[in-house]
Structure 1
């Protein structure tokens, strides 16, 4: 997965996998669609896709893009989309509650969302942090249970709520070892072996929360 602070250099394989396994129906809205990688993936799967973003950067003619600020009210009828997608966008929006109310209104069934994880675990005591902590466009980060409760309060039932990280991150510590390339390579081998047998875990470096939820049926 190749991503950088503030923009993405290429599509995330993890996010594409979430779409493959969780997007449902025939219509989709991608809020904060960026360059349109995920909207295009949905179009490839047969969805009719609408994207929203501040600036239009989507070259795929299959995607109907609405350019402008992402704010309430959203310019769609109730239950317009079977799947609503929000990758790395909610943390940038000031009117969180108003936007989520609108998302619930236009979403017929499925919400797929990712946000930055607020808990850096033991990383700060070693002078480390998540990349998203230095993104000054973020209004907030999230904790998993709080995110689930937030979305429940806005009309969604949790289908999946997962911390996601990159298990290769501990390999970076080999770069701080003295002794040259050969020694660093052996340290990488050792870290990989310890990870594979479960003696190294990466829960505390899972930098993102991925949420999948369905609209709560109206009573």
Structure 2
């Protein structure tokens, strides 16, 4: 199985998509091949990998090539929603990336982000720059001017996606959601935040 196949739609995709209206104008930052496009007709993705963008194009997905560590090539308040799934652990300046997400969100717009929890397994991926604690992740978004709607941990124990896919669950099965509360279980932090209306 190739890298892009491994990072296609997870079995638990509703853990991400459930936060947004289906007609939302959605920006997916660090989108890979853009599996979220299957759920949002008004979808735009941006990724720094030419291979990912080419593969997304083959799949008919609206994805552009761009460096997410640079200012995003979109206007102020252009999107209803922004997704940054498994992105912020890879960037040099997560504050600048979150600030750009705030800029391109319309007032009242929502952003979903997830990233590995601060655990030893995170460093098995040489592309990771940093992990996050839930407190640090929340502070990152608050300091950039976003309001936290909700946050938590999600289990990323080996086999989670396989079990979710085989059971046709659109969210992580309950035992995995409960396991994510245990600090030594392999998990991510996640957050839903809002751009203030004023």
Question: What is the Cα deviation at residue 79 of structure 1?
Answer: 0.7
Give the aligned partner of residue 60 of structure 1.
59
State the distance in 2 between where 1:88 and 1:7 align.
16
State the structure with bigger RCO (CA 8 A, min sep 6), 1 or 2.
Answer: 2
Question: What is the Cα deviation at residue 211 of structure 1?
Answer: 0.8
> Secondary structure at the residue paired with 1:92?
coil
Structure 1 or 2, whichever has the larger Rg, is 1
**One of 151, 161, 185 as aligned partner of 1:205:** 185
CA contact 1:165–1:203 (8 Å) conserved in 2: no
Give the aligned partner of residue 141 of structure 2.
151
Give the aligned partner of residue 17 of structure 2.
20
Question: What is the Cα deviation at residue 38 of structure 1?
Answer: 1.7
State the distance in 2 between where 1:7 and 1:64 align.
18
Give the aligned partner of residue 40 of structure 2.
42
CA contact 2:114–2:188 (8 Å) conserved in 1: yes
| Superimposed CA distance per residue, residues 167-193 of structure 1 (whole angstroms, 9 cap, x where no aligned partner) | 787xxxxxxxxxxxxxxxxxxxxxxxx
Cα RMSD over matched residues?
Answer: 2.8
**One of 90, 93, 105 as aligned partner of 2:91:** 93
The total of aligned residue pairs comes to 172
CA contact 2:154–2:187 (8 Å) conserved in 1: yes
CA contact 1:36–1:60 (8 Å) conserved in 2: no
CA contact 1:163–1:206 (8 Å) conserved in 2: no
Flag the structure with higher helix content.
Answer: 1
Question: What is the Cα deviation at residue 5 of structure 1?
Answer: 8.8
Where in structure 2 are there 5+ consecutive unaligned residues? Answer: 160-174
Give the aligned partner of residue 9 of structure 2.
11
Q: TM-score, normalised by structure 1?
A: 0.69
CA contact 2:4–2:33 (8 Å) conserved in 1: no
> Secondary structure at the residue paired with 1:161?
strand
CA gap of 1:217–1:75, structure 2 versus 1, over 3 A, is same
